[in-house]
């Protein structure tokens, strides 16, 4: 959360006199520093009214603004992360992330309706260990793809994953890329629609598997999207990275996504796509 959103409880006013702002009432825009009243920010779907910066949106909120009201039913498979490698600090990190986010893992799957059209949906949550794909996230994404095939519904996967793989699960995590991709391939063979929505950030193993292979790919404005992280690239090429590199708009220019869509237009865009593919 700290990367994207900082709530300040003390700020300086023009006349050097400090004023107290109750914590949690205001949010300072990460991009333009504008102070935004939280209620206004929520009403604006967590998009800065001044500069259009798209703030992070949690999985539940994402479902709420994308799907028809109260149409979502979560698939409850009840699977939780194990620590197969006995990796130093992993168990502690998992329970810390559970407490911090109130989520049991980095992905939420289920079914619902968009514009009254039934759809299966999977969302990865950046807040839970960076939205990285360990066994549970890989399994959930695979399960939701299989559900889409079973029900013959279109599939919407909404990604937000900083690093992609979860290194604490080693090659087991890496293989989730192969597993989810195999499921995507099966889905396509069945002739079912798969829409991928890329949100900030979608990188690494998630981007190099299911996320970049939708029949139609949408991205939110300003989202960082790519394979290697900017830090790694900078270290490798020993040069400055051009402005806007790996941002959704740059991918649009280079042919990597179909559309960059403002948050407020995502739902209506999805309805237009779904309508096109329905017989």
Partner 1 sequence: MAENRYSLDFEKPIMELERKIEELKGLTAEEGLDLSEEVSRLQSRLRKLEKDILSHLTPWQKVQLARHPNRPKSLDLTELIFDDFLILHGDRLYSDDQAIVGGLAKLGEEKLVFIGHQKGKSIKENLFRNFGMAHPEGYRKAQRLMNLAEKFNRPVLTFVDTPGAYPGIEAEERGQAEAIAANLERMSQLRVPILVIIIGEGGSGGALGIGVGDKILMLENTIYSVISPEGCAAILWKNQEKVKEAAKALRLTSKDLLNLKLIDEIIPEPVGGAHRNVEQTALNIKKAIIKHLGELKRLSPEELVKKRYEKYRRIGRFKRG
Where on the chain is the footprint of Zn ion (CB under 5 A)? Answer: 29, 31-32, 34, 48, 50-51, 53
Q: Which does 51 bind (CB under 5 to 8 A by kind): Zn ion, partner 1, none?
A: Zn ion
Cα gap 27→34, rounded to integer Å: 8
Q: Which does 138 bind (CB under 5 to 8 A by kind): Zn ion, partner 1, none?
A: partner 1
Is 185 near partner 1 (CB under 8 A)? yes
Judged by CB under 8 A, the chain residues 117 through 136 that form the site for partner 1 are 135-136
Cβ distance 152 to 122 under 8 Å?
no
Characterise 218 by phi-psi region: left (phi > 0), alpha (psi -120 to 50), beta (else): beta
Residue 9 CA: distances (Å) to CA of 21, 23, 52: 5, 5, 23
Cα gap 44→48, rounded to integer Å: 7
Paired strand residues for 35: 28
> Of 212, 80, 62, which is closest to residue 136 (Cα–Cα)?
80
Least distance CB 77 / partner 1 (angstroms): 8
Q: In a 3-state reduction of DSSP, which class is residue 191?
A: coil
Following CA atoms 242, 247, 249, 253 in sequence, which dihedral angle do they give, to the nearest 10 degrees? 60
Tell me which stretch binds partner 1 (CB under 8 A): 66-74, 108-116, 119-127, 242-250: 242-250
Least distance CB 216 / Zn ion (angstroms): 29
Could you say which of 16, 78, 99, 116 contacts partner 1 (CB under 8 A)?
78
Q: Which does 32 bind (CB under 5 to 8 A by kind): partner 1, Zn ion, none?
A: Zn ion
Could you say which of 56, 205, 219, 223 contacts partner 1 (CB under 8 A)?
205
Is 210 near partner 1 (CB under 8 A)? yes
Nearer CB in complex with partner 1: 19/237: 237
Residue 89 CA: distances (Å) to CA of 127, 135, 142: 18, 17, 27
Is 184 near partner 1 (CB under 8 A)? yes
Q: Which does 48 bind (CB under 5 to 8 A by kind): Zn ion, partner 1, none?
A: Zn ion
Least distance CB 274 / partner 1 (angstroms): 23
Following CA atoms 101, 50, 64, 186 in sequence, which dihedral angle do they give, to the nearest 10 degrees? -90
Per-residue mark of binding to partner 1, 133-162 (x: CB under 8 A) = --xx-xx--x--------------------
In the block, residue with structure tokens 């629609």:
193
Nearer CB in complex with partner 1: 117/208: 208
């Amino acid at each position: 959360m700290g990367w994207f959103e900082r709530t300040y409880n003390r700020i300086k006013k023009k006349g050097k006199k400090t004023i107290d702002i109750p914590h949690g009432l205001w949010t300072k825009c990460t991009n333009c520093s504008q102070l935004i009243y939280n209620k206004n920010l929520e009403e604006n779907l967590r998009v800065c009214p001044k500069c259009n910066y798209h703030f992070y949106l949690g999985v539940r909120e994402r479902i709420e603004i994308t799907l028809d009201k109260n149409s979502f039913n979560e698939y409850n498979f009840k699977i939780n992360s194990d620590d197969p490698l006995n990796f130093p600090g992993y168990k502690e990190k998992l329970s810390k992330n559970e407490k911090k986010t109130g989520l049991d893992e980095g992905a939420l799957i289920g079914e619902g309706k968009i514009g009254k059209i039934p759809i299966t949906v999977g969302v990865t949550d950046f807040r839970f260990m960076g939205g990285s794909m360990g066994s549970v996230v890989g399994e959930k994404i695979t399960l939701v793809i299989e559900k889409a095939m079973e029900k013959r519904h279109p599939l919407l996967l909404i990604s937000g994953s900083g690093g992609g793989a979860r290194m604490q699960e080693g090659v087991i995590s890496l293989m989730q890329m192969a597993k989810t991709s195999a499921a995507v391939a099966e889905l396509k063979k069945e002739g079912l629609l798969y829409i991928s929505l890329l949100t900030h950030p979608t990188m690494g193993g998630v981007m190099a598997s299911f996320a970049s292979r939708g029949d139609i790919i949408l991205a939110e404005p300003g989202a960082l999207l790519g394979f290697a992280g900017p830090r790694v690239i900078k270290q490798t090429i020993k040069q400055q990275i051009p402005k806007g590199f790996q941002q959704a708009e740059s991918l649009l220019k280079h042919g990597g996504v179909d559309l960059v869509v403002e948050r407020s237009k995502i739902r209506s865009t999805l309805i237009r796509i779904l309508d096109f593919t329905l017989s």
